[in-house]
Amino acid sequence: MTALVGHQDQRAAFEAAFASGKMHHAWLLSGPRGIGKRTFATAAARMVLAGATSFDVDNSDPQARAFDADAHPDFRKLQRGLTKTGDKLAQNIVVDQVRAFLPVLNQTPSLSEWRVVLIDSACEMNTASANAFLKSLEEPPKQTIFLLVCHSPGRLLPTVRSRCRTLTFRPLPSSQVREVLQSELDDHSDMDALVQIADGAPGRALRFAGLEVAELMSTLARLEAVDDNDARDLALTLGQRLALKAAQPRFEAFLELAVTHLADAAKRAQPDQLAARLALWDEARTLAGDALAKSLDPSVVAFQIARLVGHLSTAEQRAA
């Protein structure tokens, strides 16, 4: 099981509540995507099922061993299923999933004194599925704890939010992000770049692992620094390299990194630069979205977005 790093205040609050014997039945784990909410929920579920009062459950504990083997009968997870074609995840947790899931809650826990239900993520329930789930929060089964991972609490029904105790999670400091990445990755060659990309959310950085993102970030910086002719040549070379079929993951990484680079440039802009930089960011964001949705030519898209980054350097280039 992935070790939990950071979030000590949230951990202390959950441990104290469980040890007190007055455990709230539903916990909303709220915060940006990729900062460790699912890891926290997994550690919390493991502790509850083991009947411990600390996340540091001994690995030899039989309940923990069953949990670690994905074989604990008193742990249930509700998450998005596959689309009808079976080739990708559905956009939402749908009502039929919830209805099929609810009968489990009528059963008595069989191995542990508790049952734990993890909803990952709760903000992916649509209105129908959230309403179907709501009754379980209003009339919770005995000895059942609900853990609702949520990236966008504003998308949850107010009636769901109001029945949960909220733990708010915040981005981790760089030292803890590095600790997580070092424990998860074998190749540390891009570590500094990945820590920077993470921006406090290790899960975000892990999506870029193995894609030589340090080189992509260096290229973005060079595009902004060189003159227009060199920037054009650099953009052309980049487009050719990212057009290869094997480079599709790097192409997708480039799209996200380039849009972020332009957004950061807008944030640091002087007042007389802001409008132009926002226009560059908006054009790149739209182009990046269309590139994947409409399967546009990667070489053309990469070239065009690279040129937008190159236009950051001077007013003359921005107007070109």
| 178-217 per-residue burial string, b: 16 or more CB within 10 A, e: under 16 | bbbbeeebeeeebbebbbebbbbbbbbbbbbbebebbebb
CA 247 distance to own-chain centroid: 23
Res. 76: pLDDT tops 50: yes
Which residues contact residue 106 at a Cβ distance below 8 angstroms, ignoring those fewer than 6 apart? Answer: 141
Strand order across the 115-120 sheet: 75-79, 115-120, 144-150, 26-30, 165-168
SS3 89: strand
Write the single-letter amino acid at 56.
D
Q: Which tokens hold the place of 289? A: 């979205």
Tracing tokens 């909220």 back to the chain, one arrives at: 166
Q: What are the CA-CA distances from residue 63 to residues 52, 147, 148, 164, 182 (Å)? A: 10, 18, 22, 26, 28
pLDDT tens digits for range 129-153: 999 999 999 999 999 999 999 999 9
CA 122 distance to own-chain centroid: 13
CA-nearest of 1, 8, 2 to 173 is: 8
How confident is the model at residue 314, as a pLDDT? 55
CA-nearest of 223, 210, 213 to 192 is: 213
pLDDT, average across residues 31-59: 95
pLDDT tens digits for range 83-142: 887 778 888 999 999 999 888 888 899 999 999 999 999 999 999 999 999 999 999 999
Q: Tell me, what DSSP letter sits at residue 102?
A: G
Cβ atoms of residues 24 and 17 within 8 Å: yes
Which of 9-18, 84-93, 220-229 is predicted least confidently?
Answer: 84-93
Cβ atoms of residues 252 and 237 within 8 Å: no
Largest Cα separation within the chain, whole Å, is 71
